């Protein structure tokens, strides 16, 4: 099977998969700070190869910040686990290039419920696309969706040296508490209400 056939098969499988109605409503364009427009949608089961390609192009630092160790290649079983979610207790949003063929993933934000009203959240953005507001926008959309599933607290655990992630969390607009320990930072975000940003003086 050649590359073109693989792409057609992937597109066909994507179109055949039906997202829950409330999940499908999340899909749409996202305009970045620099005016560039990308696409946001929920992850689907057949995004496994897209996710592995995305991971393959991350820098070593980005991988270590996300997984706490170097993982040059995302194993197929891990990709399957990350792309097969139930959209209630486990959910993930993607920022992508949209309808371009092949569609490329630019960023991922996900949550995994760990208690009745609490979920662990994690995100990673392609190095070339960092600093454009993708992580914050995805976090806000994911939080709005999580609230409809009874989640009121996001917990993020990151390395103390992960300055970009810490900045996103601190400037997310959600009330937070943070605790350092053993080189990591545990941040609790109160997502009960939409984010609030202080007005400029």
Whether pLDDT at 1 is above 60: no
Tell the CATH superfamily of the 3-190 domain. Answer: Gcn5-related N-acetyltransferase (GNAT) (3.40.630.30)
- Here the tokens at position 78 are 């891990």
List the single range of 7-16, 100-109, 111-120, 166-175 with lowest mean pLDDT. Answer: 7-16
In the chain, where the domains are located: 3-190
> What secondary structure does DSSP assign to 1-48, as a single string?
--HHHHHHHHHHHHHH----HHHHTT-EEEE-TTS-EEEEEE--GGGH
Average pLDDT, the chain: 90
Q: Name the β-bridge partners of 178.
A: 187
158: CB partners within 8 A, 6+ apart:
65, 165, 166, 169, 184, 185, 187
Whether pLDDT at 150 is above 50: yes
pLDDT in tens, 191-201: 999 999 865 44
Predicted confidence at residue 137, as pLDDT, reads: 96
H helices present in 57-162, as ranges: 60-67, 76-83, 134-148
Whether pLDDT at 91 is above 80: yes
Predicted confidence at residue 159, as pLDDT, reads: 93
Q: Give the pTM.
A: 0.88
Q: Comparing C-alpha atoms, which of 90, 104, 91, 7 is closest to residue 50?
A: 104
More confident residue, 17 or 24: 24
89: CB partners within 8 A, 6+ apart:
112, 113, 119, 149
């Amino acid at each position: 099977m050649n590359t073109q056939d693989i792409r057609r098969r992937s597109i066909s499988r994507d179109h055949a998969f039906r997202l829950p109605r409330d999940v499908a409503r999340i899909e749409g364009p996202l305009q970045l700070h620099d005016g560039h427009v990308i696409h946001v949608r929920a992850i689907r089961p057949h995004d496994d190869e897209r996710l592995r390609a995305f991971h393959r192009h991350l820098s070593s630092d980005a991988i270590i910040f996300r997984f706490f160790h170097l993982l040059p290649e995302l194993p197929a079983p891990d990709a399957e686990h990350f792309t097969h979610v139930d959209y209630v207790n486990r959910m993930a949003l993607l920022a992508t290039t949209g309808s371009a063929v092949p569609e490329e993933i630019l960023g991922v934000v996900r949550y995994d419920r760990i208690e009745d009203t609490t979920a662990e959240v994690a995100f990673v953005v392609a190095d070339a696309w960092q600093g454009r507001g993708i992580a914050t926008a995805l976090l806000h959309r994911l939080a709005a969706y999580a609230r409809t599933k009874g989640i009121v607290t996001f917990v993020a655990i990151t390395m103390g040296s992960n300055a970009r992630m810490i900045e996103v969390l601190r400037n997310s607009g959600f009330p937070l508490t943070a605790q350092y320990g053993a080189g990591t930072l545990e941040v609790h975000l109160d997502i009960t209400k939409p984010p609030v940003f202080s007005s400029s003086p």
